Amino acid sequence: MLDLLEPFLDIPRPYYGALLAVGFCVYYFFGVVKTPMLVCANGPFRAFLEEHVPLVRNKFWPTLWCFESRAQTIIASVLRSRILPPIHYRREILTLSDGGEVALDWAEEGCSATSPIVIILPGLTGASQAEYIKCLVSSAKKVGIRCVIFNNRGLGGVELKTPRMYCAANSDDLSEVIEHVKKLHPQAHLGATGISMGGLILGNYLAQEGVMARGKLKGCFLISVPWNVFAATKNTEENYFNLMINKYLAGTLRKNIQRLHYSSEPGMFDVDIETLLKSQTVREFDSHFTVKQFGYKDVEEYYSNATIHDKLHLIDVPLLCLSAADDPFQPVQAIPLKEISETKKVAVVVTSRGGHIGFLEGMWPVKEEQYMGKLFSQFFAALFTSGLDHQML
């Protein structure tokens, strides 16, 4: 054995670093940089994507020094929050049928009255100035698409008018928003995008509406959606680093509820606020709050109702999804690849790396337009200008 190692022991020490660098580059070029999987049944929608959306055919080059899943997730958020300037929106307050209010923030600079519109649903605790929202808005602006960000109740700086908040399984508020936007702009093409939990709300809306959604939305896009909520929560509770992200989100939820609860007397929510504020994970928060708000028996019933991996056959609107195989919120084995491969109106692009709403690319990812923004703009620009028709699918 020593005889085999002897040649390596004679290598001058300065060369060790070079060998390590070469080894790292070989691993990066052959183990990290890959063409994403495009999963979709053969048919007009798949052909449309392959012809009009170049990114589905090109290799994804994750940032060289930041391709691990948690690094992509965290560093993407930090970098974008510092690089992307605040977006100047036109705010519209929409009063819902039960008296609740939501903020619709319009990004329409440089667009005409007939420019197509994409409704964007942020993630669990996100709002209009979330860094990933700014990334999408920036990409949309370059191709002449208007965006309207739908801030959930109690978010985006809007006062909560009712005790009801929002949840992944309920799309009532989204339905009212879509009807409102369609009424305001009946001649404009309309699409929708959901990020993470926003993707669950949008996905459930599409499944519940079925054929009826075809007359309202030309197409939709989901980013880092937790397809199977049971698998997603389990994955974020088992690994130490994933658990830290989970606890951070739970902390943000607690702070928001605490702020809203004590904003009025004798308190906004009819819950055990002390127990709620001890929630350490998103599952515990949902058990103490979301389940009670929306009348579920327990958190298992809520998650079963919220998950969309078993509802894809109900969706009748062209739907493109972007997921990363290393998403800490959604293990790749829980992405319903088999079901999607049999569905002609749902497609998913799965990158080997990217984390959760990360998808950083390039040596130094400081450009406003990143991978998910480019895929977003390519898809909707082609969708709104091509002859793709629901009836063809």
Give me the domains of the chain, ranges plus CATH numbers: 34-228+310-385 (3.40.50.1820), 229-306 (no CATH)
From the candidates 173, 286, 326, 327, which is the catalytic residue? 327
Per-residue model confidence (pLDDT) at position 390? 56
Of the two residues 160 and 102, the one the predictor is more confident about is 102
Q: How confident is the model at residue 5 (pLDDT cuts 50, 70, 90)?
A: very low
Q: What is the mean pLDDT of residues 187-195?
A: 96
Q: To the nearest 10°, report the CA torsion of 333, 338, 339, 345.
A: 110
Of the two residues 302 and 389, the one the predictor is more confident about is 302
Per-residue model confidence (pLDDT) at position 38? 97
Per-residue model confidence (pLDDT) at position 42? 94
Spatial contact of 31 and 23, defined as CB atoms under 8 Å apart: no
Spatial contact of 302 and 290, defined as CB atoms under 8 Å apart: yes
CA–CA separation, 27 and 296 (whole Å): 48
Q: What is the mean pLDDT of residues 221-247?
A: 91
Per-residue model confidence (pLDDT) at position 2? 45
Q: Give residue-wise pLDDT tens across range 289-337.
A: 999 999 999 999 999 999 999 999 999 999 999 999 999 888 888 899 9
How many helices (H) and strands (E) in the chain? 15, 9
Report in angstroms the alpha-carbon separations of 351 from 117, 235, 321, 344: 27, 19, 11, 20
Report in angstroms the alpha-carbon separations of 158 from 242, 258, 277: 31, 15, 22
pLDDT above 80 for 1: no
Burial of 194 (0-12, 13-18, 19+ CB in 10 A): buried
Spatial contact of 384 and 118, defined as CB atoms under 8 Å apart: no
pLDDT above 70 for 264: no
Instruction: Determine whether 175 is an active site residue.
Output: no
Q: What is the mean pLDDT of residues 241-260?
A: 91
Q: Give residue-wise pLDDT tens across range 67-116.
A: 788 888 888 888 888 888 899 999 999 999 999 999 999 999 888 888 99
pLDDT above 70 for 210: yes
- Is the omega angle on the peptide bond into residue 85 within 30 degrees of 0, that is, cis? no
Q: Give residue-wise pLDDT tens across range 107-158.
A: 998 888 889 999 999 999 999 999 999 999 999 999 999 999 999 999 999 8
Compute the mean pLDDT over every residue in the chain, rounded to the nearest whole number.
Answer: 89
From the candidates 189, 261, 309, 356, which is the catalytic residue? 356
Per-residue model confidence (pLDDT) at position 305? 97
Burial of 93 (0-12, 13-18, 19+ CB in 10 A): exposed
Instruction: Determine whether 196 is an active site residue.
Output: yes
Q: How confident is the model at residue 185 (pLDDT cuts 50, 70, 90)?
A: very high
From the candidates 171, 196, 224, 323, which is the catalytic residue? 196
